[in-house]
Amino acid sequence: MRSLAQLAQASLGQAVIIENRPGAGGTLHAVGLATGRPDGYTLGQMHLGMIRRPFMMASPQWDPVTSFTHILRLCGWRLGFAVKADSPWKTMAEFIQNARENPGQLTVANSGAASSPHIGMIELAEKAGIQINHVPFKSTAEGVNAVAGGHVDAVAGESSIIPLVEAGQLRALSAWSRDRFVRLPDVPTLREIGYDMEVTTGFGISGPKGMPQPLVRLLHDAFKKALFDPENKIVRDRFDMSEEYLDSDGYRAFIVQRAEYERQIVQKYGLKAE
């Protein structure tokens, strides 16, 4: 986001300042964004947590479809599954078979309850007919370190698993996104090993509801140009992030579709906000 902001400044002719607001599963900025002035000066990162969380709340504070003006989708994290490098599992099939033979015994770290890795692992376990223990951490990095230290059997998480795989501390067994990891091209996707599923984390930029169309187009064009700038691609490749561009109409349609999916998932698995 910092790379995008820096590159978009040239098109917009003014500074674009990134303000971090950690907490609440990355949704601490949602209410302020939903209630902000639709003048183009207040924008926010839209991600799956922003879409999912209202359905987990007893009293939702925003609607992912109607509370915002969706400007464009940008890119996303590739997710994957890894175990300790010296573990007995060489393939995803071996891990799943072991879990099937020992129901409820194996542990899998994730980046927090109701996070995309957590939900993805729930779905995969259901498809594979296995029972595992989910171990939530505050971030994928913490889960990765727990696996490397031998405290948890495996981790389902974003591409922060990659550096430890490259360093020989972890072994990646599967990629959960549409494509294989750029930096780990030998690791198969879930579809390639027989599970028809894809866990995506595509995110974009949205503003308060009611933004005028000419302003939306101006911001869309500036950030699209920044996204496809070679400098931003270097940053995305460094973190093995996939390009997931959608224009304003496409992103709005995606939000509508994804909101219904998230509503069903939250209801199916009984997920609640902490």
Structure tokens at 11: 């098109």
Q: By the 8 A CB rule, do 176 and 185 touch?
A: no
Runs of H (alpha helix) within 14-114: 30-34, 48-52, 92-101
**Within a 10 A sphere around the Cβ of 48, how many other Cβ atoms?**
22
The domain ranges of the chain are 2-76+200-269, 80-193
pLDDT bin (cut points 50, 70, 90) of residue 273 is confident
Is the per-residue pLDDT at 84 higher than 80?
yes
Is the per-residue pLDDT at 178 higher than 90?
no
Give, for 91, the enclosing helix (H) or strand (E): none
The answer to whether the Cα torsion of 227, 178, 181, 108 is positive or negative is positive
Q: CATH for 2-76+200-269, among 3.40.50.720, 3.40.50.20, 3.40.190.150, 3.90.1860.10? A: 3.40.190.150
Q: Which residue has the higher pLDDT, 269 or 67?
A: 67
Q: How far is CA 82 from the centre of its chain?
A: 17
Spatial distance between the Cα atoms of 273 and 53, rounded to a whole number of angstroms: 7
Burial class (CB in 10 A: 0-12, 13-18, 19+), 77: buried
Spatial distance between the Cα atoms of 262 and 158, rounded to a whole number of angstroms: 19
For the chain, percent of residues with pLDDT exceeding 70: 100
Is the per-residue pLDDT at 24 higher than 80?
no
Q: Which residue has the higher pLDDT, 138 or 108?
A: 108
Q: Give the pLDDT score at 274.
A: 61
- Over the chain, what is the mean pLDDT? 94
For the chain, percent of residues with pLDDT exceeding 90: 82
Query: In the CATH hierarchy, which fold is given to the domain comprising 80-193?
Result: D-Maltodextrin-Binding Protein; domain 2 (3.40.190)
* Coil, strand or helix at 56: helix
Residues in the chain: 274
Helix axis angle for 213-227 and 248-269, nearest 10°, is: 80
Is the per-residue pLDDT at 182 higher than 90?
no
